[in-house]
Amino acid sequence: MSTQVVEETTHRWWVLATVALAQLMVVLDATIVNIAMPSAQADLGFSDNDRQWVVTAYALAFGSLLLLGGRLADMFGRRRMFLIGLVGFAVASALGGAAQSFEMLVGARALQGAFAAVLAPAALSVLVTTFTQPKERARAFGVFGAIAGMGGAIGLILGGFLTENFNWRWNLYVNVFIAAIAFVVGSILLSKTVVRHHNHLDLSGILLASGGLFLLVFGFSQAEPKGWDSPVVWGSLAVSVILLVGFVIRQRTAKFPLLPLSIVQDRDRGSSFLAILVAGSGMFGVFLFLTYYLQLTKAYSPIQTGFAFLPMVVAIVITAQLQTNLLVPRFGPKLIVPFGMVMGAGAMLWFSQLTATSGYGHVLLGLVAMGIGMGSIMPPSFQAATLGVPRSSAGAASAMVSTSQQVGGAIGTALLNTIAATAATAYVADHQPAGPEVMAAGAIHSFSVAYTWAAGIFVLGAILTATLFRTRADRAARLEAAAPAADASAEEAPALAH
């Protein structure tokens, strides 16, 4: 191999490390503040009813602006938007860490979400356009997909460490250091060549998509505190559906669509978005209820709770590399992704058997199974979701990946939270008088019911992805036929087609 080729290959892997670091920062910020919440609440003096907004503000801004962020990356260059996203995220994190009031903290979290919506699609689209060789592309997406699957768990680990050894503010300040490293390396390594495909924004499409996604995430986020029969919840969801249908209609006629419908109409890409949505909704069930179980029932400290998730992280990393390098090229996502869904369902059913006296060994087996499941779902889904997408639409396709994960997390959290709350209430009502032991047993019962429903979500995901993903032969034939007209590299196809 020539010296130039070695240098180019090394350069690409440093690009991957930079992009992966930025992606990790964005994903872990969805959970890192959870463990710090009690300390922040005591420091700033906000109520139990208000504390949900520290998490929701980030999710609302992130989820609603992702499609716009993806289109901006296509318009103004991935390098530029990547660096802008890093600077904005760092500034917002610093503001949140220095917050002296609840309102300032929530505003900073919303600003974090807005810049995350710029950063995440730019990061993934850099990866899409940098790695075109089949084997390298598979390995790169294995790393990136693993980070998407384990970022939440790393957030819990890091959040526990920082909260116990420093204070809650460092859960936000840490992003400044991560962003600074990624900015310096990205400024040096990322290509300065800017290819502008057009300079037009579909303003009506932006309003319809952002409004629809905002109300979708908002409606589901309010389901647990207000109840599904609340006008705020069903009204938000109803208007969201109307706006998103209007968005789809608008994209069919727009000269410069925010989301070219060809991206989601392809069966493989549509199946991938669906898989990421299902995995996101089920995965948040693990983080949410297992965190409650370990801290409330087993009396784990924040840092012990965080490190309890470490086996899941290790399982994701190992599985992701094995799948993308060995099994996905041989069997394709039609087999690997449903297998991951089945593993996720099995893990959830295993968690549903936890009792007050269960040891960590019971938790460990479930976490390993969940890690294998996430490592099988995320990397091939991320890869298939962007395979064959024209460079001019790489940002839009990347934005859909992140949107699927965010919306899935919002839906899963709302549904499972509501199911758990209902189950706990019913249990306590059936076991009067409601003393401390009954309340504790009711909590464990509610977790078990939520895990069972989460298992059902994964089973549904397994059925849908096994049905919708194309066979390897069909995919290879279609990619071969489309190769002359594609403006992406013709060498991308074998990564999933073989």
Enumerate domains of the chain plus CATH numbers: 3-201+256-497 (1.20.1250.20), 202-255 (no CATH)
* Cβ atoms 258, 205 nearer than 8 A: yes
Distance of CA 126 to the CA centre of its chain: 18
Q: Three-class SS of residue 387?
A: coil
Instruction: Compute the distance between CA of residue 290 and CA of residue 238 in angstroms, rounded to an integer.
Output: 32
Instruction: Compute the distance between CA of residue 77 and CA of residue 395 in angstroms, rounded to an integer.
Output: 9
Sign of torsion over alpha carbons 24, 27, 31, 37: positive
Q: 82-96 b/e with 16+ CB inside 10 Å = b? A: bbbbbebbbbbbbbb
Sign of torsion over alpha carbons 195, 207, 271, 253: negative
Give the pLDDT of residue 129: 81
Give the pLDDT of residue 422: 85
Amino acid at 199: N
Give the pLDDT of residue 486: 44
Low-confidence ranges of the chain (pLDDT < 50): 1-7, 485-498
How deeply is 287 buried, as exposed, middle or buried, from its count of CB atoms within 10 A (0-12, 13-18, 19+)?
A: buried
Residue-wise pLDDT for 286-325, tens only, equals: 777 888 888 888 988 878 888 898 899 899 989 988 888 8
Give the pLDDT of residue 245: 95
Local structure of residue 259 (DSSP, 8 states): S
Regarding pTM above 0.85, the answer is no
Local structure of residue 352 (DSSP, 8 states): T
All residues at 6 or more sequence positions from 343 whose CB lies less than 8 Å from its CB, including other chains: 369, 370, 372, 373, 376
* Cβ atoms 338, 280 nearer than 8 A: no
Give the pLDDT of residue 481: 62
Q: Three-class SS of residue 193?
A: coil
All residues at 6 or more sequence positions from 74 whose CB lies less than 8 Å from its CB, including other chains: 125, 197, 392, 393, 394, 395, 396
Instruction: Compute the distance between CA of residue 42 and CA of residue 343 in angstroms, rounded to an integer.
Output: 39
Give the pLDDT of residue 99: 93
Instruction: Compute the distance between CA of residue 279 and CA of residue 320 in angstroms, rounded to an integer.
Output: 14
Instruction: Compute the distance between CA of residue 379 and CA of residue 390 in angstroms, rounded to an integer.
Output: 20
Count of C-beta atoms within a 10 Å radius of residue 11: 14
Give the pLDDT of residue 9: 55
